[in-house]
Structure 1
């Protein structure tokens, strides 16, 4: 069992970095972001395209619009080596870029948010007028996870709050070892 877990996000504070836009398909239609944030295998026809919204330094790990992870093949190799059963990749053409990049889809969800240890959790209530969401997380601040419930997972989305992309200490260290740019880690 892994001793530590981290929320992996895009380090938006890096000076001179690029910013990616919305994912699109070969026909120019937007790729539905939720498709790639549910923590389940997805299907996308053809190659994905993404514009560079703000030009700058390309990164090994960054988010396209709506928090969709885009990784350089160097970073993708870490995920494939350490968590191949829990990830899926889609080729992506980035405007003006000759290097190979992939969209990272995490295909595992783990029910492990520790409500008591987290700073604050909020749930959808009947009076919120969204009956389909009642009882689900509405917000999670200062997330902490129950490591015992995470088990042997190395990369996953958290049940009920799939906006969080969580990686094990092994993946964090491997990304740091290759000098992956753009990755920001916060222990959960």
Structure 2
């Protein structure tokens, strides 16, 4: 929700584009649990503590936007990590399973788009020098470089979980 209690479009944080000022976005927490410095809210929205922001700044990573956020019941500061890159890199033959929307699925606007990506693998040459990005067509995933992964583990930043792709 925005600072006035109005719902916002959560998908805007998966599009790989810089967003204009939105004030402080508020996240309700239900049920309340252990505070983590990196977590994903609904719709795969990464919410991070300022320690994550500081790490990105020290590493000079610029392909992100940090949007101020308030997590109800938890002191911050908190931010939405908005990745500014979407890269066409899913290596379909190497994935465990890939399904595309078909005409018979009854959603003509999605025909040809990914319906299922299981056991995702990417073509690392297409990722190039990107430190963080979302894969085109399956933007609920957030991919980080080996350098960034190691830095997050060295800190250590709580809440991170990595799966090699």
- The two structures share one fold, judged by TM-score above 0.5: yes
* Counterpart position of 2:25: 48
Deviations 1:58-109 (A, max 9, x none): 1110112222100011112223343633101111111122221111110101
Distance 1:141 1:83 in 2: 32
* Counterpart position of 2:34: 57
* Counterpart position of 2:66: 89
* Counterpart position of 2:141: 164
Runs of 5+ unmatched residues, structure 1 = 1-23
Instruction: Confirm whether residue 151 of structure 1 aligns to residue 125 of structure 2.
Output: no
Which stretch has the larger CA shift, 36-45 or 68-77? 36-45
Instruction: Confirm whether residue 113 of structure 1 aligns to residue 90 of structure 2.
Output: yes
Is the CA contact (8 Å cut-off) linking 2:43 and 2:140 kept in structure 1? no
Measured on the aligned residues, the alpha-carbon RMSD in Å equals 1.4
* Counterpart position of 1:132: 109
Q: TM-score, normalised by structure 1?
A: 0.83
Q: 1:131 to 1:81 in 2, by over 3 A?
A: farther
Runs of 5+ unmatched residues, structure 2 = none
* Counterpart position of 1:178: 155
Please report how far the alpha carbon of residue 44 of structure 1 lies from its aligned counterpart in structure 2 after TM superposition: 4.5
Is the CA contact (8 Å cut-off) linking 2:70 and 2:76 kept in structure 1? no
Q: TM-score, normalised by structure 2?
A: 0.94
Distance 1:121 1:34 in 2: 22
Q: 1:82 to 1:139 in 2, by over 3 A?
A: farther
Which stretch has the larger CA shift, 105-114 or 60-69? 60-69
Is the CA contact (8 Å cut-off) linking 1:83 and 1:154 kept in structure 2? no
Higher RCO (CA-CA < 8 Å; seq separation 6+): 1
Is the CA contact (8 Å cut-off) linking 1:48 and 1:93 kept in structure 2? yes
Is the CA contact (8 Å cut-off) linking 1:125 and 1:135 kept in structure 2? yes
Q: Secondary structure at the match of 1:43?
A: coil
Greater strand percent: which structure?
Answer: 1
Is the CA contact (8 Å cut-off) linking 2:48 and 2:78 kept in structure 1? yes
